Amino acid sequence: MPKRPTRLIIDTDGGIDDALALILALRSPEVEVVGVSTVSGNVRVEQAAINALRVIELFDHRDIWVAQGLGNPLIRDPIRATSFHGTDGLGDSNLPQPRMRTRKESAIDLIVDQLNKEKDHGLTIVCIGPLTNIAAVLTNSPNISGRIGELLIMGGAFGLSRHGYGNVTPVAEFNIYSDPEAAKIVFESGIRVRAVGLDVTSAPENWLTSAEYSRVKATKNGVSVFATRILANTMQKRHMFELHDPIAVGAVIQPSLYHFIERSVKIETKGEYTTGMTVTERREEADNIWTENPIKICTNLKSQRFKRLFLGHLLKN
Which residues, other chains included, contact 163 with Cβ-Cβ below 8 Å and sequence gap of 6+? 198, 199, 200, 202, 203
**CA-CA distance, 117 to 94, in Å (whole number)?**
38
Q: Which helix (H) or strand (E) holds 153?
A: strand 150-154
Q: Binding of ligand RIB at residue 78 (CB under 6 A)? A: no
Give the binding range for Ca ion (CB under 5 A) out of 8-16, 79-87, 143-151, 248-256: 8-16
SS3 category, 32? strand
Give the binding range for ligand RIB (CB under 6 A) out of 173-181, 186-194, 227-235, 269-277: 173-181
- CB nearer to ligand RIB: pick between 18 and 150: 18
SS3 category, 292? coil
Contacts (CB under 5 A) with Ca ion, residues 116-175 = 128-129
Q: Binding of Ca ion at residue 19 (CB under 5 A)? A: no
Q: How far is the CB of 104 from ligand RIB (least distance, A)?
A: 26
Q: Binding of ligand RIB at residue 249 (CB under 6 A)? A: no
Q: Binding of ligand RIB at residue 51 (CB under 6 A)? A: no
Q: Binding of ligand RIB at residue 110 (CB under 6 A)? A: no
- CB nearer to ligand RIB: pick between 149 and 276: 276
Give the binding range for ligand RIB (CB under 6 A) out of 15-23, 256-264, 267-275, 294-302: 15-23
Q: Binding of ligand RIB at residue 89 (CB under 6 A)? A: no
Is-contact 265 173, C-beta < 8 A? no
244 tagged catalytic = yes
Alpha carbon of residue 145 to chain centroid = 19
Q: How far is the CB of 116 from ligand RIB (least distance, A)?
A: 27
Catalytic residue, candidates 85, 121, 163, 244: 244
Strands (E), the chain: 6-12, 31-38, 65-68, 124-127, 150-154, 193-196, 207-209, 240-242, 258-263, 265-267, 278-280, 295-301
- CB nearer to ligand RIB: pick between 16 and 112: 16
Q: Which of 203, 289, 193, 194 is nearest to 240 (CA)?
A: 203
**CA-CA distance, 71 to 264, in Å (whole number)?**
30
Q: Which helix (H) or strand (E) holds 38?
A: strand 31-38
Residues identified as active-site:
244
Provide the binding-site residues for Ca ion, judged by CB under 5 A.
Answer: 13, 15, 18, 128-129, 245
Provide the binding-site residues for ligand RIB, judged by CB under 6 A.
Answer: 13, 15, 17-18, 41-42, 81, 128-129, 154, 167, 173-175, 244-245
